[in-house]
Copies of this chain bind each other. A is one copy, B any other.
Protein backbone atom coordinates (compact mmCIF):
# COMPACT_ATOMS: atom_id res chain seq x y z
CA UNK A 1 0.00 0.00 0.00
CA UNK A 2 1.30 3.41 -0.94
CA UNK A 3 1.19 6.03 1.77
CA UNK A 4 1.93 8.88 -0.63
CA UNK A 5 -0.64 11.62 -0.05
CA UNK A 6 1.15 14.49 -1.76
CA UNK A 7 1.04 15.29 -5.49
CA UNK A 8 2.97 18.09 -7.19
CA UNK A 9 1.63 19.05 -10.62
CA UNK A 10 4.14 20.55 -13.04
CA UNK A 11 7.57 19.98 -14.53
CA UNK A 12 10.87 20.04 -12.62
CA UNK A 13 12.18 22.57 -15.14
CA UNK A 14 9.83 25.21 -13.73
CA UNK A 15 11.60 27.22 -11.01
CA UNK A 16 8.44 27.38 -8.89
CA UNK A 17 7.89 23.61 -9.20
CA UNK A 18 11.49 22.81 -8.30
CA UNK A 19 11.23 25.15 -5.27
CA UNK A 20 8.44 22.95 -3.90
CA UNK A 21 10.27 19.72 -4.82
CA UNK A 22 13.47 20.65 -3.01
CA UNK A 23 11.39 21.54 0.06
CA UNK A 24 9.69 18.11 -0.05
CA UNK A 25 13.07 16.36 -0.40
CA UNK A 26 14.46 18.35 2.57
CA UNK A 27 11.40 17.40 4.63
CA UNK A 28 11.61 13.76 3.48
CA UNK A 29 7.92 13.88 2.53
CA UNK A 30 7.15 11.37 -0.24
CA UNK A 31 5.32 12.79 -3.22
CA UNK A 32 4.18 12.00 -6.73
CA UNK A 33 5.07 14.34 -9.57
CA UNK A 34 2.21 14.63 -12.06
CA UNK A 35 3.59 15.98 -15.30
CA UNK A 36 1.76 18.98 -16.77
CA UNK A 37 2.43 19.48 -20.47
CA UNK A 38 2.53 23.26 -20.76
CA UNK A 39 3.33 23.10 -24.47
CA UNK A 40 -0.08 21.46 -24.88
CA UNK A 41 -1.72 24.08 -22.63
CA UNK A 42 -2.65 21.57 -19.92
CA UNK A 43 -2.07 24.28 -17.28
CA UNK A 44 -5.01 26.23 -18.74
CA UNK A 45 -7.46 23.30 -18.77
CA UNK A 46 -10.64 23.56 -16.63
CA UNK A 47 -9.51 20.68 -14.40
CA UNK A 48 -6.14 22.29 -13.75
CA UNK A 49 -7.74 25.69 -13.06
CA UNK A 50 -9.72 24.06 -10.24
CA UNK A 51 -6.38 23.28 -8.55
CA UNK A 52 -4.58 26.50 -9.53
CA UNK A 53 -6.86 29.37 -10.52
CA UNK A 54 -4.11 31.40 -12.22
CA UNK A 55 -3.22 28.52 -14.55
CA UNK A 56 0.37 28.38 -13.32
CA UNK A 57 2.54 25.50 -12.14
CA UNK A 58 2.92 24.09 -9.59
CA UNK A 59 -0.42 22.96 -8.32
CA UNK A 60 -0.20 20.98 -5.11
CA UNK A 61 -2.48 18.49 -3.42
CA UNK A 62 -2.18 16.76 -0.06
CA UNK A 63 -5.16 14.43 0.31
CA UNK A 64 -8.10 16.85 0.14
CA UNK A 65 -6.04 20.01 0.61
CA UNK A 66 -4.99 22.02 -2.43
CA UNK A 67 -2.48 24.87 -2.16
CA UNK A 68 -0.98 27.19 -4.77
CA UNK A 69 1.95 29.66 -4.88
CA UNK A 70 5.30 27.92 -4.31
CA UNK A 71 6.29 29.86 -1.17
CA UNK A 72 2.87 29.27 0.43
CA UNK A 73 3.17 25.57 -0.43
CA UNK A 74 6.62 25.43 1.20
CA UNK A 75 5.26 27.06 4.37
CA UNK A 76 2.39 24.55 4.39
CA UNK A 77 4.76 21.58 4.03
CA UNK A 78 6.90 22.78 6.98
CA UNK A 79 3.89 23.41 9.21
CA UNK A 80 2.04 20.22 8.22
CA UNK A 81 5.04 17.95 8.75
CA UNK A 82 6.99 19.58 11.62
CA UNK A 83 8.56 16.31 12.76
CA UNK A 84 9.75 15.05 9.38
CA UNK A 85 13.18 15.55 7.77
CA UNK A 86 14.79 18.97 8.16
CA UNK A 87 13.04 20.63 11.11
CA UNK A 88 14.74 24.01 10.82
CA UNK A 89 13.28 25.23 7.53
CA UNK A 90 10.81 27.68 9.11
CA UNK A 91 13.27 28.50 11.92
CA UNK A 92 14.24 26.51 15.02
CA UNK A 93 11.14 25.72 17.00
CA UNK A 94 12.82 26.79 20.24
CA UNK A 95 13.56 30.12 18.54
CA UNK A 96 9.87 31.01 18.66
CA UNK A 97 8.35 33.86 16.69
CA UNK A 98 11.66 35.68 16.16
CA UNK A 99 13.20 32.73 14.33
CA UNK A 100 10.10 32.37 12.14
CA UNK A 101 9.97 36.10 11.44
CA UNK A 102 13.59 36.11 10.31
CA UNK A 103 12.78 33.36 7.80
CA UNK A 104 9.64 35.24 6.73
CA UNK A 105 11.44 38.51 6.06
CA UNK A 106 14.22 36.94 3.99
CA UNK A 107 11.74 34.72 2.14
CA UNK A 108 9.84 37.92 1.27
CA UNK A 109 13.11 39.54 0.21
CA UNK A 110 13.61 36.59 -2.14
CA UNK A 111 10.08 36.92 -3.52
CA UNK A 112 10.10 40.70 -3.85
CA UNK A 113 13.75 41.63 -4.54
CA UNK A 114 15.67 38.60 -5.86
CA UNK A 115 12.90 36.89 -7.82
CA UNK A 116 11.81 39.65 -10.25
CA UNK A 117 15.22 40.36 -11.83
CA UNK A 118 16.45 36.75 -11.58
CA UNK A 119 13.24 35.41 -13.17
CA UNK A 120 13.53 37.93 -15.99
CA UNK A 121 17.13 36.81 -16.55
CA UNK A 122 16.24 33.12 -16.43
CA UNK A 123 13.45 33.73 -18.93
CA UNK A 124 15.87 35.40 -21.35
CA UNK A 125 18.78 32.99 -20.83
CA UNK A 126 16.97 29.65 -20.46
CA UNK A 127 13.37 29.72 -21.65
CA UNK A 128 13.46 32.19 -24.56
CA UNK A 129 16.02 30.05 -26.47
CA UNK A 130 14.00 26.90 -25.57
CA UNK A 131 10.89 28.53 -27.07
CA UNK A 132 12.73 29.79 -30.15
CA UNK A 133 12.38 33.43 -29.06
CA UNK A 134 15.05 36.02 -29.67
CA UNK A 135 16.91 37.10 -26.50
CA UNK A 136 16.29 40.69 -25.40
CA UNK A 137 19.81 41.91 -24.60
CA UNK A 138 18.57 45.18 -23.07
CA UNK A 139 16.41 43.22 -20.62
CA UNK A 140 19.39 40.99 -19.75
CA UNK A 141 21.60 43.99 -19.00
CA UNK A 142 18.95 45.85 -16.99
CA UNK A 143 18.01 42.87 -14.88
CA UNK A 144 21.60 41.83 -14.27
CA UNK A 145 22.29 45.33 -12.93
CA UNK A 146 19.17 45.20 -10.71
CA UNK A 147 20.12 41.76 -9.43
CA UNK A 148 23.70 42.86 -8.68
CA UNK A 149 22.38 45.53 -6.27
CA UNK A 150 20.27 42.98 -4.44
CA UNK A 151 23.21 40.57 -4.23
CA UNK A 152 25.40 43.28 -2.70
CA UNK A 153 22.92 43.45 0.19
CA UNK A 154 22.92 39.65 0.46
CA UNK A 155 26.73 39.57 0.52
CA UNK A 156 26.77 42.04 3.40
CA UNK A 157 24.17 40.01 5.30
CA UNK A 158 26.07 36.78 4.71
CA UNK A 159 29.14 38.40 6.25
CA UNK A 160 27.14 38.66 9.50
CA UNK A 161 25.45 35.25 9.54
CA UNK A 162 26.03 31.87 7.93
CA UNK A 163 22.64 31.80 6.21
CA UNK A 164 20.16 34.54 5.32
CA UNK A 165 17.82 34.07 8.30
CA UNK A 166 20.58 33.20 10.78
CA UNK A 167 22.72 30.18 11.72
CA UNK A 168 20.54 27.58 10.02
CA UNK A 169 19.67 26.72 6.44
CA UNK A 170 15.99 27.63 6.00
CA UNK A 171 13.30 28.22 3.37
CA UNK A 172 14.78 31.71 2.96
CA UNK A 173 17.93 30.16 1.44
CA UNK A 174 16.21 27.24 -0.31
CA UNK A 175 13.87 29.54 -2.26
CA UNK A 176 16.86 30.95 -4.19
CA UNK A 177 18.04 27.60 -5.59
CA UNK A 178 15.91 27.32 -8.75
CA UNK A 179 16.78 30.66 -10.35
CA UNK A 180 20.30 30.66 -8.89
CA UNK A 181 21.01 27.28 -10.47
CA UNK A 182 19.85 28.37 -13.92
CA UNK A 183 22.00 31.52 -13.70
CA UNK A 184 25.06 29.44 -12.81
CA UNK A 185 24.44 27.00 -15.68
CA UNK A 186 24.17 29.96 -18.08
CA UNK A 187 27.58 31.42 -17.24
CA UNK A 188 26.27 33.96 -14.73
CA UNK A 189 27.87 32.19 -11.77
CA UNK A 190 30.19 35.14 -11.26
CA UNK A 191 27.19 37.03 -9.87
CA UNK A 192 27.65 34.73 -6.86
CA UNK A 193 31.36 33.84 -6.88
CA UNK A 194 32.59 37.43 -7.35
CA UNK A 195 31.10 38.18 -3.90
CA UNK A 196 33.00 36.40 -1.15
CA UNK A 197 30.25 35.64 1.36
CA UNK A 198 27.64 35.02 -1.30
CA UNK A 199 29.99 32.60 -3.11
CA UNK A 200 30.57 30.65 0.12
CA UNK A 201 26.79 30.53 0.73
CA UNK A 202 25.93 29.47 -2.82
CA UNK A 203 28.50 26.67 -2.76
CA UNK A 204 27.01 25.34 0.47
CA UNK A 205 23.31 25.55 -0.39
CA UNK A 206 23.65 24.24 -3.95
CA UNK A 207 25.60 21.17 -2.73
CA UNK A 208 22.77 19.92 -0.51
CA UNK A 209 21.60 16.42 -1.48
CA UNK A 210 17.94 17.54 -1.66
CA UNK A 211 18.80 20.08 -4.35
CA UNK A 212 21.05 17.64 -6.25
CA UNK A 213 18.08 15.28 -6.54
CA UNK A 214 16.04 18.06 -8.17
CA UNK A 215 18.83 18.87 -10.64
CA UNK A 216 19.07 15.19 -11.55
CA UNK A 217 15.33 15.17 -12.31
CA UNK A 218 15.67 18.38 -14.35
CA UNK A 219 18.36 16.72 -16.44
CA UNK A 220 16.40 13.50 -17.02
CA UNK A 221 15.34 13.12 -20.65
CA UNK A 222 11.62 13.14 -19.75
CA UNK A 223 11.81 16.40 -17.71
- Which residues of A are at the interface with B, using a C-beta cutoff of 8 A? 53-54, 65, 67-69, 71-73, 75-76, 79-80, 97-98, 100-101, 104-105, 107-109, 111-113, 115-116, 150, 153, 156-157
Contacts and interface: CB of A to CB of B under 8 A. Distances in A.
A67 B101 contact: yes
A1 to B, nearest CB: 25
Contacts of A98: 65
A111 B113 contact: no
B153 A71 contact: no
Nearest to A149: B54
Given A53-B156, A54-B153, A156-B53, A65 B101 contact: yes
Contact of A104 (B72, B101, B116, B150): B72
Nearest 4 A-B pairs (CB), nearest first? Answer: A69-B108, A72-B105, A72-B104, A72-B108
A116 to B, nearest CB: 7
Nearest to A98: B65
Q: Which of A71, A113, A116 has the most CB of B within 10 A?
A: A71
Contacts of A105: 67-69, 72-73
Contact of A109 (B69, B100, B104): B69
A105 B68 CA distance: 6
Given A76-B101, A112-B115, 15 more contacts: A53-B153, A54-B109, A54-B150, A54-B153, A67-B105, A69-B109, A69-B112, A71-B104, A72-B101, A72-B104, A72-B107, A73-B105, A75-B104, A79-B101, A116-B116
Nearest to A80: B97
A103 to B, nearest CB: 9
Contacts of A111: 108, 111-112
